[in-house]
Amino acid sequence: MSNRRHAYLYLAPGAALVTLFLVGPMVALIYLGMTRWVGVGTPEFVGFANYRQLVEDPSFRQAVGNTIKWAAVGVFIHTPLCLLVALILARQPRFWKFFRTVFFLPSVISTTAIAFLWYFILHVDLGMLNKTLEVVGLGSLTRAWLFDPSTALISTQLPFIIYIGFGMVLLMTQISTIPAEVYEAAVLDGASTLRQELSITIPLIRRGIALQCLFVIAYALRAFEYPFIMTSGGPGDRTTNLSFYIYRQMMTANQYGLAAAAGVVTLVLGAAMVAAVFVFLNRAERA
């Protein structure tokens, strides 16, 4: 048997995994999205009726909007915070390794446990946040953070925003590839640290920043634990996102066709946001 034949044999297990759990499900998803099905019997082909129904469903529209807000919060608040801390730690101030280890800690803890923890922190009666506000005399600010429509969504996003460890390490790795000589001229010119970061470091790690944005967008489409555990999507649908919407259509409404159609919308939305990142990166490369 030739090496090439062997090669196909060695590729088979990986190809089988990808086919069974990624490519196959994607094809099935597109088909199921055009059927009406409650899980038993044969799926009934209905064309694009599910998509029409989704568009008319206020819960679904809210879920799409909230998913976009998750991505926006990730790109415009979370990522700049990651960058800020990465820039500070990359200059290796005292105890930088300690800080890096501490900041990365939440990344090894399950999102489920973090969601639980923050459910308790934001709890109206026993929560650390309200208790602290009372102690420092800001009792008027206390509220049921997760049940108040004006604060529910941002409250479920809060742990995601402030736990910057993963993005920080990703960007630090990128910064560490910049040779020290690059900064020499700037230092001789007397450029401030801030100036150096803005006109040397950030432009040089633009690809790393784009990569971090891709990760954050991928996460926004995947985010499930926070609404599931902290709010069950409520109040109303204030915290329902696409992942949670699909779960609910499937597990509580048994609307498998509708759930699949929402899955297809998730894929399309993801592709659009990824494309947007590449467009911006391209523009930055040319500038």
Partner 1 sequence: MIGRLFRWVVLIGFTVVTIVPFLWLVMSSFKTNAEIFAGPFELPSKWSLDNYTSALDAHPILVFLRNSFVIAAFSALVTIAASLLASYALLHKFVLSRLAYLYLMFGILLPVNAFITPIFFLVRWSGLYNSVWGVGLVYAGIFFPTGFLIIKVYVDTIPHELLEAARIDGASYHAIFRRIVVPLSVPGVVTAGIFLMMLAWNELLFASILTQDESSQTVQVGVRYFLTTYAAQYPQAFAATVMAIVPPVLVYVFLSNRVIAGMTAGSVK
Q: Which residues contact 228 (CB under 8 A, 6 or more apart)?
A: 115, 244, 247
Give the span between the Cα atoms of 260 and 46, in whole angstroms.
Answer: 13
Q: Hey, CA dihedral for 86, 68, 261, 226, is it positive or negative?
A: positive
Instruction: Kindly indicate which of the ranges 52-60, 122-130, 143-151, 198-206 contains the residues binding partner 1, using the contact rule CB under 8 A.
Output: 122-130
Among positions 51, 57, 116, 206, the unique one binding partner 1 when judged by CB under 8 A: 116
User: What's the min distance (Å) between Cβ of 132 and partner 1?
Assistant: 6
Give the span between the Cα atoms of 218 and 154, in whole angstroms.
Answer: 19
Residue 68 makes contact with partner 1 by CB under 8 A: no
User: What's the min distance (Å) between Cβ of 76 and partner 1?
Assistant: 18
- Asked if 237 and 168 touch (Cβ cutoff 8 Å), the reply is no
Please tell me the number of Cα atoms within 13 Å of 122 on its side-chain side: 24
x/- binding map, residues 154-173, to partner 1, per CB under 8 A? --------xxx-x--xx--x
Among positions 74, 106, 227, 233, the unique one binding partner 1 when judged by CB under 8 A: 106
Phi, psi of 108 (to 5 degrees): -90, -10
Residue 204 makes contact with partner 1 by CB under 8 A: no
User: What's the min distance (Å) between Cβ of 180 and partner 1?
Assistant: 20
Nearer to partner 1, 73 or 264 (CB): 264
Binders of partner 1: how many residues, by CB under 8 A?
94
User: What's the min distance (Å) between Cβ of 25 and partner 1?
Assistant: 4
Burial label, 17 (beta-carbon count in 10 A; 0-12, 13-18, 19+): exposed
Instruction: Kindly indicate which of the ranges 55-63, 68-76, 107-115, 183-191 contains the residues binding partner 1, using the contact rule CB under 8 A.
Output: 107-115
Could you write out the DSSP letters of every residue in 238-261? TT--HHHHHHHHHHTT--HHHHHH
Binding residues among 238-257 for partner 1 as defined by CB under 8 A? 242-243, 246-247, 250-251, 256
